[in-house]
Structure 1
Amino acid sequence: MESIQSALKQWSQDNNKFQQRLNEARNSLLADPIVKKALDQVSVTDEMLEQGLIKLYELQKELHHCHDCPGLSNCPNMMRGYQPELMVTRKALDLRYHPCSLKTNEESARKQRQLIKSLYVPKDILKATFDRLDRDHEREEASRKALAFALGANPGEDGQGLYFYGKFGVGKTHLMGAVANELRDRGIETYIVYTPDFFREMKSSIGDGTFQEKIDMVKKAQVLILDDIGAETISGWIRDDVLGAILQHRMLENLPTLFTSNYDYDELEDHLSYSERGGIEELKAKRIMERIKHFTTFVNVEGANRRSR
């Protein structure tokens, strides 16, 4: 009999300790700033709170992962790239999951790559940053202007862009990659488009019905970089209905456009005045160039050909 009483007493003590640990865990959970913030945004009763502790534990765990985000590829959440939001459903606490900004950006980039193949650029360009650029005297001014643009760009308010002119291989596209990566870090949507491939793709998109969707995406990008303009075979349709339409929209909406080219302003105007049929349309070329000149700052990129090293 004494052994039974001793066992019951021990069980009672263990149960009290267990209950104490549960209360401590509950209080710690409800005191967590992340959980408190979530609860402040919904209306809950004490009963809903007690019955919804499991949901709150899940919320706490997942949002702490997000707070100390290790990157999308290493996301430890139950659904990679998704984060929970506390809500009330049928008078009970529940969680709704939605994609985080990294997941949204990944999905957006995937759709862009599927839609416009000419958005593909070399991996070394995608990794370009200002702190990795070659620090030489010849490109100092160009690097300084590129960085100033990247740090101060304000799409929708200021539509002023840059026109990088220079010979083959001096690093114009690499500078633009650094600009795009800095803008990305600031949360500014930026497209780098290799212009010759883009114009060819726009011509073929007439047949598959994707022309309007493609041109709208490029027209409305917060910052657009047209790489190697002038290297394409020009036609009146490409110049007026594609390039002209893109630049007109971006000019009206104060969306900056940046260019790289082996042609200066005058040489590009000559290039745009010719069509594939051999005609010369100087007036139409001047209209395009007036938009480019008025909304860009000319930057001469000098230096040796880095591709031959």
Structure 2
Amino acid sequence: MEPIQTSLKKYMQDAGWEDALQRVQQTVLNDTRVNGWLAENDKELHEDAVAQGMTALLEYKNSWRNCDQCPGLANCPNPMPGYQPELYPEHGQIQMRYHPCPLQIAANRRKHQASLVKSLYVSEEFKKASFENMEIDDTDDTRATALETALEFEREANPGENGQGLYLHGMFGVGKTYLIAAIANALAERQIQSLLVYAPEFFREMRQAVGEGSVSEKIDAVKRVPVLMLDDLGAETMSNWIRDDVLGAILQYRMTEKLPTIYTSNWDYEELEGHLSYSNKGGEERMKAKRIMERIRPFTTELYLSGRNRRET
């Protein structure tokens, strides 16, 4: 009986496959990148390395052809979309591995930066906020001052070494949240993680966490973040427990660990202290409110932001 390999070879010759295969192989070996790599690594390859590694060489050639005619990351036709091949010799044979291409690297960087800015209860639009898009009114010095101070904070923020933050207050819709979102995105460029929290909703969730038994876990997640941003502080219905055991615990830790906190509010320092002195059960607790303010006022720069209500346009 004729050996199967002999029969297969004869069949391939009769069908013209062998000639076609040889043409493909020759095209691969004539490729500039392939040819250059083989010449550079010739001494490290066994005699049969090219024949054994022809599949890898063909994939290498075709993948780089795709890269040379790059249709964009979303339409990448490579076996591993967004990745470029690299040949390397191993034990005398040809091996191949993939590395992310520049477009994939940029996409990964953007994804990583987005992961550094974790926004809770804040609109998706703020994830694209930037200083460049902030509106400046030549007749309103408060906006220019706030922007300049925010830029300075972003450039110099050093969590763990400098715990100074910002306290930004003003009327509704003047752009307070947008400005701190721009800070968060700029910090991400410096690989500094921030957490932008809508304070009233966070405090409401903390009340629910009591029944779930997850109070400590949620407080830890907020208090340990390098830069915390509490948006719309003072808009919540305050209770003794939220003020003392939630907000107080968070701010005490951040003060001790020198972690900067940024606040936005409709109220200035004095008005916020008044808000904190009352609870939903009635009564006035000025000393407890002052204790909280002693963890806010000395560790923030107060900024007033005025202007038109941009939510009404």
The TM-score normalised by the length of structure 2 is 0.70
Per-residue CA shift, 1:86-121, capped at 9, x if unaligned? 999999957699994555666788xx67xxxxx132
Identity of matched residues, %: 47
CA drift of 1:225 comes to: 0.8
| CA distance in structure 2 between the aligned counterparts of 1:247 and 1:49, rounded to whole angstroms | 65
Is residue 2:217 matched to residue 1:216? Answer: no
Match of 2:179 in 1: 175
Distance 1:218 1:80, change over 3 A: farther
Match of 1:189 in 2: 193
**SS of residue paired to 2:294:** helix
CA drift of 1:158 comes to: 2.0
| CA distance in structure 2 between the aligned counterparts of 1:49 and 1:258, rounded to whole angstroms | 62
Is the 1:195–1:227 Cα contact (8 Å) retained in structure 2?
yes
Distance 1:52 1:158, change over 3 A: farther
Match of 2:125 in 1: 124
Is residue 2:29 matched to residue 1:23? Answer: yes
What letter is aligned with 1:23?
A: L
**SS of residue paired to 2:247:** helix
| CA distance in structure 2 between the aligned counterparts of 1:76 and 1:231, rounded to whole angstroms | 52
Q: Which runs of 5+ in 1 are unaligned?
A: 1-11, 40-44, 114-118
Is residue 2:255 matched to residue 1:251? Answer: yes
CA drift of 1:304 comes to: 2.6
What letter is aligned with 1:126?
A: K
Aligned length: 279
Question: What is the correspondence of 1:18-167 to structure 2 with a 5 Å cutoff?
Answer: 21-25=27-31, 27-28=33-34, 46=45, 61=63, 100-102=108-110, 119-137=120-138, 138=140, 139-167=143-171
| CA distance in structure 1 between the aligned counterparts of 2:226 and 2:86, rounded to whole angstroms | 29
CA drift of 1:143 comes to: 1.3
| CA distance in structure 2 between the aligned counterparts of 1:305 and 1:76, rounded to whole angstroms | 49
CA drift of 1:161 comes to: 1.0
Is the 1:55–1:95 Cα contact (8 Å) retained in structure 2?
no
Is the 2:86–2:99 Cα contact (8 Å) retained in structure 1?
yes
Is residue 2:271 matched to residue 1:267? Answer: yes
CA drift of 1:195 comes to: 0.4
What letter is aligned with 1:282?
A: R
Per-residue CA shift, 1:36-78, capped at 9, x if unaligned? 9xx9xxxxx646986667668569959x97xx9967x777776
What letter is aligned with 1:180?
A: A
**SS of residue paired to 1:170:** coil
Is the 1:225–1:257 Cα contact (8 Å) retained in structure 2?
yes
Is the 1:59–1:86 Cα contact (8 Å) retained in structure 2?
no
| CA distance in structure 2 between the aligned counterparts of 1:288 and 1:88, rounded to whole angstroms | 64
Match of 1:6 in 2: none
Is residue 2:293 matched to residue 1:292? Answer: no
Is the 1:87–1:96 Cα contact (8 Å) retained in structure 2?
no
| CA distance in structure 2 between the aligned counterparts of 1:197 and 1:297, rounded to whole angstroms | 25
The TM-score normalised by the length of structure 1 is 0.71
Q: Give me the CA root mean square deviation.
A: 4.5
Match of 2:312 in 1: 308
Distance 1:20 1:176, change over 3 A: same
Larger radius of gyration: 2
| CA distance in structure 2 between the aligned counterparts of 1:105 and 1:59, rounded to whole angstroms | 33
| CA distance in structure 1 between the aligned counterparts of 2:182 and 2:150, rounded to whole angstroms | 8
Is residue 2:275 matched to residue 1:277? Answer: no
| CA distance in structure 1 between the aligned counterparts of 2:216 and 2:87, rounded to whole angstroms | 39
**SS of residue paired to 1:180:** helix
